[in-house]
């Protein structure tokens, strides 16, 4: 059901809701834009729902935004549309000509092409498209989507990826979101500027497929955990919700500049899990100004108190603390910081040595 009209409407909403002004930049077309057949010269063509892809890119760019597209290294995409197999250089040139800024390259049917699941075979199609993208005179962000096969985080940057999915698809449940998010703990060495671990999209707002949308099943506290954890992880923040149904709560979740600054911090470090105790996990991220972002997460089934001793996470005994969701200085704390954390919730703070 994706169409040029919907992409234009999404771009309009990214401006009118203020999302663009808080740093949300990409409007990405997923599967379903491709025509059933290529042109006689082999060029990939959009279907009737996208009558003029160049004009669409121009429209999105005029809004101060960027446009993304989707393909597969296999003959067919996951939705059964034409993939890029055998036309990699041609497709990259076509996308550049249209003005595309981002490519999600989804494994899909390439499983029938690959001889096996050895590293060379897993890497081969992604190396090839990297060469094709390098051959065009346009910067295109390159997203590897192959669900974490072959521990892609260890080699995604080597094959030229800018981000790589580390897991299968997320769903809007606590079980899925928490398993994926908290499961990223060992991946921090592989993230950095220009190459990121991607634990999949954000499942807030009205989510689902096609016209079958529903309000996210995550509770309010779980949504705070979701955005906080993805920000600490330096994860790509990708929205899969209906922008026309963004309520005030969801919009506030997505436009807190102090939380987004944690995600976008130029140092580009991914947070580490520095403490686990009972139902609590503490994650800490180094920031470019020398301070730390710290998430205190309660994975338990009831609200609980937690005392975070600075020495336990390697910090000096006296720290200044700012609550990032409330955008409020909490003062100086000697030795420890005590927080009451909701069920499945988080307290997200920024700490720096007190003078």
What pLDDT score was predicted for residue 209? 75
Q: For residue 91, what pLDDT band results from cuts at 50, 70 and 90?
A: very high
3-state secondary structure of 347: strand
| pLDDT value at residue 212 | 85
106 is catalytic: yes
As a whole number of angstroms, the distance between CA 189 and CA 311 comes to 23
Q: Which of 91, 101, 106, 200 is catalytic?
A: 106
Whole-number average pLDDT of the chain: 97
How far is residue 35's CA from residue 231's CA, in Å, rounded to a whole number? 37
pLDDT at 211: 74
- 252 and 287 part of one domain: no
**Known catalytic residue: 134?**
no
Domain count, the chain: 2
Do 147 and 294 lie in a common domain?
no
- pLDDT category at 208 given cuts 50, 70, 90 is confident
Return the pLDDT at 1. Answer: 78
150 and 291 housed in the same domain: no
Q: Which of 198-212, 241-255, 275-289 has the lowest mean pLDDT?
A: 198-212
Decide if pLDDT at 64 tops 80.
yes
Do 208 and 320 lie in a common domain? no
Residue 80 has pLDDT above 70, yes or no: yes
Q: The domain that contains 330 carries what CATH number?
A: 2.60.40.1180
Last residue of some domain: 210, 233, 264? 264
Q: What is the pLDDT of residues 179-189, one digit of tens each?
A: 999 999 999 99
**Taking Cα atoms as reference points, which of 171, 151, 168 lies closest to residue 159?**
151
What local confidence, expressed as pLDDT, does residue 194 receive?
Answer: 97
pLDDT tens per residue across span 137-160: 999 999 999 999 999 999 999 999
pLDDT (tens digit, 9 = 90+) per residue, 6-58?
999 999 999 999 999 999 999 999 999 999 999 999 999 999 999 999 999 99
Q: Are residues 151 and 292 in the same domain?
A: no
Does residue 256 register a pLDDT over 90?
A: yes
Q: Are 325 and 202 in a shared domain?
A: no
Query: Is pLDDT of 295 > 90?
Result: yes
Can you say how many angstroms the Cα of residue 319 is from the centroid of all Cα atoms in its chain? 31
Q: Can you read off the two tokens belonging to residue 47?
A: 């279907």
Among residues 214, 238, 264, the one where a domain terminates is: 264
- List of residues 6+ apart from 68 with CB closer than 8 A: 26, 27, 28, 29, 100, 101, 102, 103, 104, 141
Instruction: Give, for 277, the enclosing helix (H) or strand (E).
Output: strand 272-277
The verdict on 243 and 282 lying in the same domain is no
> Is 220 in the same domain as 296?
no
The predicted structure's pLDDT at residue 210: 66
Domain identity same for 102 and 136: yes
Residue 183 tokens read as: 């499961």
**In this predicted model, what pLDDT tens digit does every residue of 66-77 receive, in sequence order?**
999 999 999 999
pLDDT at 126: 98
pLDDT at 255 over 90: yes
If asked whether residues 204 and 344 sit together in one domain, one would say: no
The catalytically annotated residue of 52, 169, 329, 335 is 169
Q: Do residues 101 and 183 both lie within one domain?
A: yes
| Closest CA relative to residue 185, chosen from 228, 119, 232 | 232
| CB 64 within 8 Å of CB 22 | no
Q: Looking at 204, 232, 264, which one is the last position of a domain? A: 264
For 317, the domain range is 272-353
Same domain, 331 and 219: no
Q: Residue 171's closest CA among 179, 159, 162, 163?
A: 179
Q: What is the CATH number of the domain that holds 85?
A: 3.20.20.70
Whether the predicted pLDDT of 355 surpasses 80: no
Token pair recorded at residue 252:
């506030």
């Amino acid at each position: 059901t994706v169409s040029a009209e919907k992409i234009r409407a999404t771009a309009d909403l990214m401006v009118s809701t203020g999302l663009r002004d808080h740093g949300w930049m990409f409007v990405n077309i997923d599967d379903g834009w491709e025509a059933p057949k290529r042109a006689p010269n082999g060029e990939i063509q959009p279907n009737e729902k996208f009558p003029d892809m160049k004009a669409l890119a121009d429209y999105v760019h005029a809004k101060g935004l960027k446009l993304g597209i989707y393909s597969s290294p296999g003959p067919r995409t996951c939705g059964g549309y034409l993939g890029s197999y055998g036309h990699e250089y041609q497709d990259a040139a076509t996308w550049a000509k249209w003005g595309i800024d981002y490519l999600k390259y989804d494994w899909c049917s390439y499983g029938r092409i690959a001889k096996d699941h050895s590293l060379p075979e897993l890497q081969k199609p992604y190396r090839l498209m990297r060469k094709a993208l390098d051959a065009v005179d346009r910067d295109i962000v390159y997203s590897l989507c192959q669900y974490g096969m072959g521990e892609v985080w260890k080699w995604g940057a080597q094959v030229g990826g800018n981000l790589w999915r580390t897991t299968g698809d997320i769903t809007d449940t606590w079980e899925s979101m928490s398993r994926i998010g908290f499961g990223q703990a060992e991946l921090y060495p592989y993230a950095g500027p220009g190459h990121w671990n991607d634990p999949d999209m954000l499942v807030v707002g009205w989510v689902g497929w096609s016209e079958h949308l529903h309000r996210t099943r995550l509770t309010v506290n779980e949504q705070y955990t979701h955005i906080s954890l993805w920000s600490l992880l330096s994860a790509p923040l990708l929205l899969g919700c209906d922008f026309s149904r963004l309520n005030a709560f969801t919009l506030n979740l997505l436009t807190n500049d102090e939380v987004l600054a944690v995600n976008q911090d130029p140092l580009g470090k991914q947070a580490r899990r520095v403490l686990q105790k009972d139902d609590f996990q503490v994650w800490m991220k180094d920031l470019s100004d020398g301070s730390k972002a710290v998430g205190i997460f309660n994975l338990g089934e009831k609200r609980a108190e937690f005392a975070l001793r600075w020495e336990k996470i390697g910090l000096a005994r006296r720290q200044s603390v700012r609550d990032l969701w409330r955008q409020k200085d909490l003062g100086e704390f000697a030795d420890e910081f005590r927080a009451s954390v909701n069920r499945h919730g988080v307290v997200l703070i920024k700490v720096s040595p007190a003078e």
